[in-house]
């Protein structure tokens, strides 16, 4: 991302006009995933806001014996995340207990820089034998990014318990959103923007809404839509939307197109925007 992009696009200024408020891995695959961290890069003039959520929990535990659930949040976008809340929850008889010196409360990070990772540890006790569900979630307060994880831990009675080093598999609720300009950007001329949304998780998303807006003199045709209610999006499914905008007479650092996607329950969200001035007046290269 260029220095101009960084100077002209502080998150705080964008938050006020963003339309709305994201990769799936099993816990046992986390080491391999971490060995190839996502690079926080984007094409010239384009910025992404996204995160990756990792969850580690034992596959089997002993009834009544405390165990730790580890959650890590990685900022995989090119902009900082602000006021990020990370938490875990147990269902049924999964009881959260506070480790010594810890509060067992949600973690709130005022700022997570691009490429940075933060860690949360919560301790649980399963009071009855059987399989118990645990969830982890991470949300950026202004709606830029969110992701969720779901895992199942089995509790065994002491007589039947046998130590197992394996981690429980996790299911992901996640999305990715990309944005690109298809035409040369010329003052007072139309140009097309393509938004690509993908369900990168393991579970179907419901109530999915794709939204967009423009500022700095960039306009859309009169009565044009500002969002699309996609509804249900199955795992691995991609949805593409092409929009037409008109460049202003004078293209400035404030001339931009923004897009975001959210899942109605708040489990998943991601955002992206393009700074028109950074693109220049030459047609973009084809993929």
Work out the mean pLDDT of the chain and round it to a whole number: 83
Q: Do 37 and 50 have their domain in common? A: yes
Residue of 16 and 30 predicted with greater confidence:
30
CATH number of the structural domain spanning residue 163: 2.60.40.10
Residue 14 lies in a domain: no
Q: Which of 105, 96, 102, 50 is nearest to 73 (CA)?
A: 50
Q: Do 154 and 102 have their domain in common? A: yes
CB neighbourhood size of 285 (10 A): 6
Q: Do 228 and 135 have their domain in common? A: no
Q: Do 57 and 82 have their domain in common? A: yes
Q: Do 219 and 184 have their domain in common? A: yes
Residue 256's alpha-carbon distances to 41, 212, 245, in angstroms, are 18, 11, 10
Q: Do 35 and 124 have their domain in common? A: yes
pLDDT tens readout for residues 231-264: 999 999 999 999 999 999 999 989 999 999 999 8
**What pTM did the predictor assign?**
0.78
Q: Does the pLDDT value for residue 22 go beyond 70? A: no
Q: Does the pLDDT value for residue 23 go beyond 50? A: no
Q: Do 31 and 164 have their domain in common? A: yes
CB neighbourhood size of 95 (10 A): 13
Q: Do 34 and 159 have their domain in common? A: yes
Average pLDDT of span 9-18:
35
Domain extent for 79:
22-173
Task: Please tell me the predicted confidence (pLDDT) of residue 233.
Answer: 94
Task: Please tell me the predicted confidence (pLDDT) of residue 21.
Answer: 37
- Phi, psi angle pair for 91, to nearest 5°: -105, 150
Task: Please tell me the predicted confidence (pLDDT) of residue 261.
Answer: 94
Report the C-alpha gap between 269 and 173 in whole angstroms: 10
Task: Please tell me the predicted confidence (pLDDT) of residue 124.
Answer: 94
Task: Please tell me the predicted confidence (pLDDT) of residue 282.
Answer: 63
pLDDT tens readout for residues 123-153: 999 999 999 999 999 999 888 899 999 999 9
**Which long-range CB contacts under 8 A does 220-225 form with residues at least 24 apart?**
220/244, 220/245, 220/246, 221/246
pLDDT tens readout for residues 152-190: 999 999 889 888 889 999 999 999 999 999 998 999 999
Q: Reduced to 3 DSSP states, what percent helix, strand and coil does the chain have, rounded to the nearest 5?
A: 10, 50, 45
Q: Do 220 and 190 have their domain in common? A: yes
Report how many domains make up the chain: 2
Residue of 284 and 13 predicted with greater confidence:
284
Residue 208's alpha-carbon distances to 78, 146, 180, 196, 211, in angstroms, are 24, 13, 21, 13, 10
Q: Do 180 and 267 have their domain in common? A: yes
Residue 219 lies in a domain: yes
- Categorize the per-residue pLDDT at 277 as very low, low, confident or very high, splitting at 50, 70 and 90: confident
* DSSP labels, 135-172: EEEEEETTSS-EEEEEEEEEEE-TTT-----PBPPEEE
Q: Do 76 and 49 have their domain in common? A: yes
Q: Do 132 and 66 have their domain in common? A: yes
Spatial contact of 72 and 54, defined as CB atoms under 8 Å apart: yes
């Amino acid at each position: 991302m260029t220095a101009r992009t960084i100077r002209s696009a502080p998150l705080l200024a964008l938050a006020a006009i963003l339309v709305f408020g994201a990769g799936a891995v099993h816990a046992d695959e986390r080491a391999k995933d971490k060995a190839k961290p996502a690079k926080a890069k984007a094409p010239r003039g384009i910025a992404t806001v996204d995160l990756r959520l990792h969850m580690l929990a034992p596959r089997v535990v002993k009834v009544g014996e405390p165990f730790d659930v580890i959650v890590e949040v990685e900022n995989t976008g090119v902009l900082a995340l602000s006021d990020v809340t990370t938490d875990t929850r147990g269902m049924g008889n999964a009881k959260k207990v506070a480790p010594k010196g810890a509060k067992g409360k949600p973690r709130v990070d005022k700022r997570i820089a691009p490429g940075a990772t933060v860690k949360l540890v919560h301790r649980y006790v399963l009071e009855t034998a059987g399989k118990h569900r645990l969830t982890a979630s991470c949300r950026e307060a202004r709606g830029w990014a969110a992701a969720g994880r779901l895992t199942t831990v089995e509790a065994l009675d002491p007589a039947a318990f046998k130590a197992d080093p394996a981690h429980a598999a996790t299911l992901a609720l996640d999305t990715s959103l990309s944005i690109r300009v298809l035409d040369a950007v010329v003052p007072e001329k139309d140009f097309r923007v393509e938004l690509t949304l993908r369900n990168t998780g393991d579970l179907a998303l419901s109530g999915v809404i794709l939204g967009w807006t423009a500022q700095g003199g960039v306009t859309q045709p009169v009565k044009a839509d500002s969002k699309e209610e996609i509804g249900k999006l199955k795992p691995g499914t991609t949805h593409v939307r092409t929009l037409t905008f008109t460049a202003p007479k004078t293209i400035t650092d404030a001339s931009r197109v923004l897009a975001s996607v959210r899942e109605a329950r708040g489990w998943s969200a991601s955002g992206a925007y393009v700074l028109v001035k950074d693109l220049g007046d030459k047609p973009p290269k084809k993929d």
